[in-house]
Amino acid sequence: MVSKTWYNDVKNRWEMDLVAVTYAASKKLIDSAQFRHDWGALKGDTKEYYVNIKEFERLFEEFGGFDGLYVKMLASGIPTAVRLTWVPFSELNFHQQFLLTSSLLHQCLMELWRTRAISYARGFGC
């Protein structure tokens, strides 16, 4: 297990190999876990290890991906929390960016249309 963890000098944190995550969960070497949409923080005996959740999802897609890991941790009795966060705009593909932008623009225009000044002007037939 020690050979599957390393210190990332650039990000100033300990990281764990993706293959070691499932092993650590099944052997209950993890005290607690906290996940976000892009990374996971696994607390071991003395350190906190970070895991790339997106890469984990791609690598273990046939075995349930992140959902399988989450269920395994819950079944093992490991306290697990998932943080809901905003997904950065840059991580959306072009189609998702277009839909989000057009939806926000539509909502803004509809609210403007419902304002008192516009309603008053519409009453005069302008």
pLDDT tens for 64-101 read: 888 888 888 888 888 888 887 788 888 889 999 999 99
**Share of residues in the chain with pLDDT > 70 (%):** 97
Confidence band for 110, pLDDT divided at 50, 70 and 90: very high
Characterise 87 by phi-psi region: left (phi > 0), alpha (psi -120 to 50), beta (else): beta
Q: In the prediction, which pLDDT does 111 show? A: 92
Q: Which of the pair, 66 or 104, is modelled with greater confidence?
A: 104
Name the average pLDDT for the chain. 86
Residue 125's pLDDT is what? 66
- Sheet of 48-52: strand order equals 5-8, 13-16, 48-52, 39-43, 32-35, 80-82
Mean pLDDT of the region 25-36: 85
Which whole number is the average pLDDT over 3-10? 86
Q: What residues are paired with 43 via a beta bridge?
A: 32, 48
- For residue 106, is pLDDT > 60? yes
Q: What gap in Å lies between CA 95 and CA 18, rounded to an integer?
A: 30
How confident is the model at residue 1, as a pLDDT? 64
Q: What local confidence, expressed as pLDDT, does residue 120 receive?
A: 80
